[in-house]
Amino acid sequence: MKITQIINDHMVIAQEEQADEVIYWKKQATGGEGELLFATLENAFDIIERRFGIGSSDVSILTYRRFAEHMRTSVRRALRTEDRSAATDGTLGCLIREHMPECYECAGEIRSDLERRSGARLPDDELLDLMLHVHKVVSNGAKRGA
């Protein structure tokens, strides 16, 4: 009975902290950027939870903030229309994709959602960066769940 109460109390605190994070990130962005950020961030964690069983409340606040900051940067890049050349070479991308295929597929789904919402095409190095952030969320969530 005591352990159930401890688990329930922890879940309530985690949910309250996560709600505070959502409010924080909504305030960080302005105008349409804020709405796009919130929608893509929420959907990204839905995708991660569906694929890996790790939700936003399963990761540390620091991991959530890092991921949200990356998503904010991705949203800003998507809203800009300038062309950017790739910052990484194809060899590095292939190595990372081979090492983390599940994270690659998950990041691809998140990128597709952002591209659909913003109407922009993001370069492959953005996908690789997103994949590394997805891996961090998944590995952090797995450690907390263990």
**Topology (CATH level 3) of domain 2-145:** PTS-regulatory domain, PRD (1.10.1790)
Distance CA 95, CA 116 (A): 27
Q: How confident is the model at residue 9, as a pLDDT?
A: 46
Q: How confident is the model at residue 11, as a pLDDT?
A: 46
Given a contact cutoff of 8 angstroms between Cβ atoms, the answer to whether 76 and 145 are in contact is no
Distance CA 70, CA 33 (A): 14
Q: How confident is the model at residue 123, as a pLDDT?
A: 84
Position 30, amino acid: T
Q: How confident is the model at residue 22, as a pLDDT?
A: 56
Q: Which two tokens stand for residue 23?
A: 């409010």
pLDDT means over runs of 10, the chain (146 residues) = 43 51 55 85 95 91 91 88 60 83 95 94 87 92 70
